[in-house]
Amino acid sequence: MSAMARVLVTEKIAERGLQKLRDAGHDVDVQLQLSPEQLVDVVSDVEAIVIRSATKVTKEVIDAAPDLVVIGRAGIGLDNVDTAAATARGVMVVNAPQSNTLSAAEHTIALLLAQARNIPQAHTALKAGRWERSKWNGVELSDKTLGIVGLGRIGKLVAQRAMAFGMNIVAYDPFVSEDRARQINVELVDIDELITLADFVTVHVAKTPETEGLLDAGLLAKAKPGQRIINVARGGIIVEDDLVDAIRNGPIGGAALDVFNEEPCTGSPLFELDEVVVTPHLGASTVEAQDKAGDTIAEMVVLALSGEFVPYAVNVSAAEASESIRPYLPLAERLGQLYAGLCERAPETLEVEYHGQLADYDTRILTLSVLKGFFGVVSDEPVSYVNAPALAEEHGMEVRPSTSSTARDYVNLITVRGAGHSIAGTLVGLRGVPKVMMVDEHAVDMPPAQNMVVIRNEDVPGVIGRVGTALGEAGININDMVVGQSPEGQSAMMVLATATPIEEAVIRQLESLEGIVSAHVISRE
């Protein structure tokens, strides 16, 4: 790493951030609107790349930059960075996770008020020469109930601000303890109760396989009549066609949306409804948020280039994990993700066990990987190796790692336990193929897949056939299936990997079959 590094900036960031890079002695090369091909051509001698949301840093780009040390995303989301490829190369990926939280919370309140008082509709009518005072009659926020879906950092800021209007707050977040919610005067309820109680609902969860399509026709049909919905989180959490139908035919009274399933979105049936207020993904579009993002990412890049501790690193550099531990990092993170799929809420105690040769090494980074995987599924904010322990503490979770050199059945085994659930995995063979070896104390042997379902069943003949028939009739192909053996030898569990995600309607159908106790999706692409 040289004292003066070439830093390629491919998108506009705050001038203060650029100056911070220059003041650190680095050569800042600003080249905007590069094509993917041009980007590959210009990175051969760069040590840092700074981007926003438009530039895609693919494996091809990373491979074309042999001197690359750090990729900086001036913002939160990392969908446009191949973090896995960066990690494999020992390239640090950093972001600015707290840069827009306040702006997003304030935009939520702005949309809440705009929806309650029909401000955009009245504005448009008056500028068109129509004085429609009686048409756009609104409602007060005081004494109304606000339902917050996701009580993370932004959800809490929204709750605090809504209380200033005299609103009652209920929230759905299975990974927040009741004590934590009570401390901020929020009542925790399940999602079905929230939708029936709330006059307004605001969404603040990350878009994950578990939350995609969360607010669908089935849930919206249970809504309190006249309910209004706000989404400043991510598109796709609300099924847009179902929302249109629920506004046209009831019970939903209106919506205010900043995000959409496909972006940019310039045409939608939602735009045809007078009850809908829309903005073009402006949640982070404030001068302050943009300045914070540019300033923060410049600071992180300077730290990375100087070899110092980087608070907002979202992956781990090659130097932070030994050669023996590094291959297990993706496995540990995947086990954390799958464990989150098994659980319905955060456990009070999370045990992470390391058996075999792993016990001879420092496994702390593996424990961080498990937490990163777990909270990456359940949290509404980006999760890094650095903030994962803080999230565990915030959720009231005690993490207990342990090691044992006893190899048992495998050379190495990582086991995650808590709240009545468990999952274990290892790497198999010379190529280090990841395998899930145990789910809820049932022995299995299966590679982790994009789409995985755990089915608990009675140990009786015919159950496997009924499951296969039901999935076949639903047009779902089974790529892999294992029958889990309990310690007592009972075949009372099936773990399936499917070619496509299994929708909730099919899960409910599986649970209705004779001999099936439960069916639960633990991973969905």
Q: Indicate which residues carry an active-site annotation.
A: 234, 263, 281
Strand 145-149, strand 200-203: pairing: parallel
Dist. CA 250–CA 244, nearest whole Å:
10
Residues, the chain, total?
A: 525
CA distances from 166 to 99, 108, 144, 162, 308 (A): 28, 16, 8, 7, 46
- Report DSSP letters for 20-67, one per residue: HHHHTT-EEEE--S--HHHHHHH-TT-SEEEE-SS--B-HHHHHT-TT
Strand 48-51, strand 70-73: pairing: parallel
Residue type, 33: Q
Is residue 338 within 8 A of residue 436, CB to CB? The reply is yes
Is residue 80 within 8 A of residue 56, CB to CB? The reply is yes
What single-letter DSSP state applies at residue 270?
G
CB count within 10 Å of CB 58 equals: 16
Residue type, 424: A
**What is the three-class DSSP state of 343?**
coil
Token pair recorded at residue 371:
């937490």
Burial of 241 per CB tally in 10 Å (0-12, 13-18, 19+):
middle
Burial of 389 per CB tally in 10 Å (0-12, 13-18, 19+):
middle
Dist. CA 512–CA 333, nearest whole Å:
33
Closest to 375 in 3D by CA, of 336, 342, 334: 336
- Report DSSP letters for 205-251, one per residue: ----TTTTT-B-HHHHTTSPTTEEEEE-S-TTSB-HHHHHHHHHHSS
Phi/psi region, residue 484 (left: phi>0; alpha: psi -120 to 50; beta: rest), is beta
Dist. CA 312–CA 318, nearest whole Å:
16
Is residue 157 within 8 A of residue 101, CB to CB? The reply is yes
Q: Is the dihedral of CA 214, 217, 219, 225 positive or negative?
A: positive
Is residue 157 within 8 A of residue 186, CB to CB? The reply is no
